[in-house]
Chains A and B, each alone.
Chain A
Amino acid sequence: MASIEGRDISKSFGGVRALRNASFSAEPGEVQALVGENGAGKSTMIKILSGLFRPDAGQTWVQGREVVLGDPQDAMRLGIGTVFQELTLLPYMTVAENLLMGREPRTLGFIDRAATASAAWKLLHEAGISGIEPLELVANLSLGQRQIVEVVKVISRHPKILFMDEPTSALAEREVEWLFGVIRKLREQGTCIVFTSHRWNEIKGIADRIMIFRNGENVGTYEATALSEQDAVEHMTGRKLDMLYPEPVTLPEKTPMLQVSNLSGAGLHEVSFSAYKGEVLGIGGLAGQGQRELLLTLFGVNRARSGTIEIEGKSVRIGNPREAIRRGMALLPEDRKTEGLLLPLPVRQNLTLPILGQLSRSGFIRRDCEASLIRTMIDRLTIRTPSIDQPVGALSGGNQQKVLIGRWLLTQARILLLYDVTRGVDVATKHEIYELIKHLSQEGRTILLYSTDTEEMAHVCHRVLVMREGRIVEEIAGPNIAPEAIVAAAIHVAAQVNVEVPR
């Protein structure tokens, strides 16, 4: 008997059909990967089966009984635990309060704070996590640490059915290993586990079965051992994809574009490097070693304490993002939803916001001019949107990312700072983004790229700088960079979070 089933489920959001008569089922004691492109309906299905969304049509069955999931509480009572893609942690509350929300230890009806903190410590400890302090505010944790806390929170309720929507996208390799250890243990205990991921080697490494969604429909479930990546991609996209990464190209000549000397600031120590015209320069290393700070400092979000930045041989001072944009820089931030895009606004405004000045005549925007620029960009990046007036929030993750890239292409940026651009992006869109990066570099733009995916960095970059504790500790030159070399250089230091990998 299936642990959980969705039968003929349909769901639309304002005219966009996310699911059409899609069925879903998962068995106890099995790990099932749910794969598909962005916008295929995976997250929507998970949210419906977790009681967060109500389906327009269809039934939900849990342990052989039909149920109605009115809200997440109903799902929790039925033993359904979900790690949502948009984490449900409360930033200005402590790790302990988050872990024990709604079930804090109480004496005489009042919450016992000390007991809450030690209960939280116990939960983390039992899950094999040390280095996350229960009294710390969640806002002060890294994305990876937050993901870990969210997982610990959900599994500590001992769910019989565990959904995880992209649990690994923010995790470093060692943390992924930790998560897989946790999953294996739960599988042995008979838990039904469903997770989504865009990383094929992870899916292969842990899943027993693979269910594929395409365009809001379930297009088949396969034994993990019997499905190759090529076939999976073909099922997901409905077309063949020969190679994920484009052929690497060598830099024809080394014309310096960006020269950074002894840059120090929050989380950065004496960082020096240069990047050339047309170069894709990887900023690698374990998560949280200063890569984010480097990009934010270059873009003027963080203030540099000392050091110089030269662009095309001219020394520049960058005090804020406006100046950075004027100097031809562009940043694709870590969290595109809060730091980049304006979700309720249409594609149009999201694309042209930084260049409105150039588009206007005496303060009025020339709409025709704007529209033609936008159309060119939509075609060039193959942004899939019903119209240019569609709110960006209604687009899938990959398309949102493309809108953000498009915005900076419109500014004619010469130096692109890309922070984990393919996070949570499906394989076909990833391929398009890699092609785009290659194309941009051939146009002579300089690209600084940080990624949690080492393999991606190895394939896409001309050169990789490995950072450790805010310093650049190694430089690995291409064209044939081995991912292992990046990991080896990165790993010489203990990770920020110590995870104990369960056997």
Chain B
Amino acid sequence: MSTTETKSDVERAQRTPADLRLHYYGAQNVPLLLSIGILVAMIMLYLILFVLAQRRLPGSFELSTTLNNTMSVGLAAVGQTLVVLTGGIDLSVGGIVDVTNSVAAQTMHDNPGSMLGITLLVLAIGAGAGLINGLLVTYGRLQPIIVTIATLAIWQGVALLVLPQQGGAIPPGFTNLLAGNIGIVPSSLVIFILLILLWQVLRRTRFLVTLYAIGNDERAARANGVPVNLAKIGAYTVGGLFSGAAGLYLAAVATSGDATSGTPLTLTSIAAVVLGGVSLFGGRGSAVGSLVGACILTLLLNVLFFAGINPQLQEFFQGLFLILAVVASTLVRRFLQSER
């Protein structure tokens, strides 16, 4: 280093210029930006169809129902993201949602103590179920897909024991808290924003950096001396906790329990993660993307409804859309890469 360099020169050079930072941020977050693009397109389509059908703009009721319907998928997708970032996959999401949903509906009473207690219990059940997955994957050295297929079946069975028939009841107060309005703002919107903020905080923890490192290359992560096993177990545990939250939310919105209502969430949470631009190979993506993916999936249902599609063909079109969306974003990414 030459001695004529002043201290402020050095300091200035240390800081990457803002436009370059933006360039790198953009280049490294192409999948996220693409999924936001798809979301925007979906919103436009939804608005057009809604206005054509209803002759008015959607209001806060539509916003709140849409978000309420998104939230359980969104919560499950955030949990799924943590596991997928390590290069794993959690198929037990649906089972955990079933159990926590059933427990909440069966045991919650209409007083604040019970609501708080059962909420904590349900989250603990979710985390515990995730912990078991994590221990089996990490120390049992089993494939995540096998472990979680097995625990999926187990939790589905347990859920039926807890709540053999649809029923139970969620106190209206609890439903209002999670799925109602705070003033004029839907609670689900608040939760949605809190989740995004939570992710910004989480991303700045060593735990999350370690998860990304594992997903990039587990062997190299180990050689870098980061606590691989602990972080992996953490990913499944926190993932399970989010599944528990999804089960609780599902019960709150439905105001009652159903031991099978969570099962579709296994696949929709994975679809949301993929739509959100998280790599199934691990190491790339963000839970914000997965939340966006969850919104896209809910909006798709609304769009199909307003487009007057036969409900029996709903799943057919969902599948079609998923393929088109993934193909489109792959093509765009390839185009951007060839432009580099």
B201, A110: Cβ atoms closer than 8 Å: yes
User: Which one, B10, B28, B216, B226, contacts A102 given CB within 8 A?
Assistant: B226
Residues of B within 8 A of A113 (CB): 204
User: Which one, B14, B15, B213, B338, contacts A90 given CB within 8 A?
Assistant: B213
With A90-B216, A102-B206, A266-B338: A52-B223 Cβ-Cβ less than 8 Å: yes
Within 8 A of A (CB), among B1-47: 1, 10, 13-16, 20-21, 24, 27-28
User: Which one, A90, A114, A125, contacts B212 given CB within 8 A?
Assistant: A90
Number of A-B contacts (CB under 8 A): 93
A92, B284: Cβ atoms closer than 8 Å: yes
With A88-B220, A92-B216, A118-B15: A133-B283 Cβ-Cβ less than 8 Å: no
User: Which one, A101, A109, A134, contacts B16 given CB within 8 A?
Assistant: A134
In the bound complex, how far is the Cα of B10 from the Cα of A92, in angstroms?
28
A345: CB under 8 A from chain B? no
Tell me the count of chain B residues lying within 8 A, CB to CB, of chain A: 32
B224: CB under 8 A from chain A? yes
Residues of A within 8 A of B21 (CB): 135
B225: CB under 8 A from chain A? yes
Residues of A within 8 A of B223 (CB): 52, 72, 82, 84, 88
A117, B16: Cβ atoms closer than 8 Å: yes
Interface of A is mostly: loop
Chain A residues at the B interface, C-beta cutoff of 8 Å: 52, 71-73, 76, 82, 84, 86-94, 97, 101-102, 104, 109-114, 117-118, 121-122, 125, 133-137, 266, 303
Residues of B within 8 A of A97 (CB): 209, 212
B209, A111: Cβ atoms closer than 8 Å: yes
B226, A92: Cβ atoms closer than 8 Å: no
User: Which one, B205, B219, B221, B224, contacts A110 given CB within 8 A?
Assistant: B205
In the bound complex, how far is the Cα of B210 from the Cα of A104, in angstroms?
12
Residues of B within 8 A of A72 (CB): 222-225
Within 8 A of A (CB), among B281-313: 283-284
Known interface pairs A71-B225, A89-B220, A133-B20; 8 further A-B residue pairs with C-beta atoms within 8 A, sorted by A's residue number: A88-B223, A90-B213, A93-B212, A97-B209, A102-B224, A109-B205, A111-B209, A121-B16
Interface flags for B202-235 (1: CB within 8 Å of A; 0: not) read 0011100100110011011111111000000000
B15, A114: Cβ atoms closer than 8 Å: yes
A71, B222: Cβ atoms closer than 8 Å: yes
B21 to chain A, nearest CB (A): 6
B13, A101: Cβ atoms closer than 8 Å: no
B206, A135: Cβ atoms closer than 8 Å: no
Within 8 A of A (CB), among B250-299: 279, 283-284
In the bound complex, how far is the Cα of B122 from the Cα of A84, in angstroms?
46
Which of A84, A90, A112 gathers the greatest number of chain B CB atoms within 10 Å?
A90
In the bound complex, how far is the Cα of B223 from the Cα of A42, in angstroms?
18
**12 A-B pairs with C-beta separation under 8 A:** A72-B222, A72-B224, A90-B216, A94-B24, A97-B212, A101-B209, A102-B226, A109-B205, A110-B205, A111-B205, A112-B204, A125-B14
With A90-B220, A125-B1: A135-B212 Cβ-Cβ less than 8 Å: no
Closest B residue to A91 by CB, please name it. Answer: B216
Residues of B within 8 A of A88 (CB): 217, 219-220, 223-224
B213, A93: Cβ atoms closer than 8 Å: yes
In the bound complex, how far is the Cα of B24 from the Cα of A117, in angstroms?
12
A490 to chain B, nearest CB (A): 25
User: Which one, B15, B206, B216, B279, contacts A93 given CB within 8 A?
Assistant: B216
A121, B13: Cβ atoms closer than 8 Å: yes
Closest A residue to B202 by CB, please name it. Answer: A110
In the bound complex, how far is the Cα of B219 from the Cα of A71, in angstroms?
12
In the bound complex, how far is the Cα of B114 from the Cα of A149, in angstroms?
55
In the bound complex, how far is the Cα of B21 from the Cα of A134, in angstroms?
10
Residues of B within 8 A of A82 (CB): 223
Closest B residue to A119 by CB, please name it. Answer: B14
In the bound complex, how far is the Cα of B225 from the Cα of A114, in angstroms?
23
A104, B206: Cβ atoms closer than 8 Å: yes
User: Which one, B20, B204, B220, B222, contacts A135 given CB within 8 A?
Assistant: B20
Residues of A within 8 A of B216 (CB): 90-93
